[in-house]
Structure 1
Amino acid sequence: MNKKISLFALGAALIAVPVIAAPGGAKADGDGTLTRTEAQAHATQMFAKMDFNKDGKIDAADRTSKRAEMQAKKFASLDADGNGSISQAEWTNQGAKRAERAEKRAAAGEMSEGKRHAMRGPGKRGGYRGMHGGMMGKADTNGDKAVSQAEFQTAALARFDAADANKDGRVTAEERKAQRGEWRAKRAAPAAPAS
């Protein structure tokens, strides 16, 4: 179980790595291309954001810290009067607000939360394949179930280098589009049978 939590935490953290060189990635200068230097700076910023407990690595402890932070914020949003408990009226009010937001999303034609979650599964972004191997396995080079800043940088720059098809030190929108097509093809390919 602990191993699964660690893999989940690392995989979730590393899902952000494609942002560096993938579609819509960091464009520090806004010219539509991403340089290797910009990718490296973005990776440094992303690592700092994901290392919630600031221990120099991304692991299950970071996931636990982030979850506790999110739960505290959610509780505070429910506890409207700030008395440390959630009354029936506060709970009912939150449910009414949630229903109102869902109606607005439906009217705007946005996908429902249930459908969004249903899209996640094996091979989907945020799904199981990316969390149990894949990016995590590639970034965690020493196998300690944690990703150091150096490992994170190395993985981010490897993704940048893979996207930089003409090796000019810049990733253009066309190169990102081509890489996105390759990733989709890999995800759609059936998994190789275990031997």
Structure 2
Amino acid sequence: MHSIETDEIEFFGFIPSCFIKELKENIIQTLNENNADEETLKLFEKNFYIFENFVLRNVFRFPVSFKFERKITDLRIEENVQKKINEYLRLVKEETSIIREKQIFQNKLDIQKYKYNEYLQINKIEKEMDNLLDSSIKMVNYVQSVSEMRDTFLKSNCGKNNTDLYKMMEHKEIRNNVYKNELKELLEKANIEDFQRFIKNL
């Protein structure tokens, strides 16, 4: 069948090929509803083929001299389309700029949050170090005090008394008891964790 151009479709107001298909279906339906016999249906198919391929192409065909013109519609666009396009592009550009600025601000905010968290961690560590230093100083002072007391005691007991004391300290059980008593007194002044941190930092 003759091909239909876009301008022709607009001229007719419908697609001719669809019209022909619907026409054929309606005729066949009418024949079936009237109980047409098989011979009549075959005759219709033959005649419709001739009609479709040799008659319709002349019915739905423009003369050679026909001049295509657009159909006049009630809708008319009087506005400056380019102005609207420019305005749209401007808005898109502004929106893109706002999104970019927002992302930059968010990145700066994230950096500030990270720095603030680091500051809190450092501040916490500094406080722990100060506490450890205070405990270490107390422990050193106490150990020094005990050492001075021991030296004073040893100096005040000269001669045989010192010799007897040294001999007593040679006994393992006595020496262990003395160390245990000294350790107990030390633990009353500071925690075992403080001693461990102090020894670790020596």
Please classify the TM superposition score into its range, dividing by the shorter chain length: under 0.3
**Between Structure 1 and Structure 2, whose CA radius of gyration is higher?**
2
More helix by share: 2
Of structures 1 and 2, the one with the larger relative CO (CA 8 A, separation 6+) is 1
More strand by share: 1
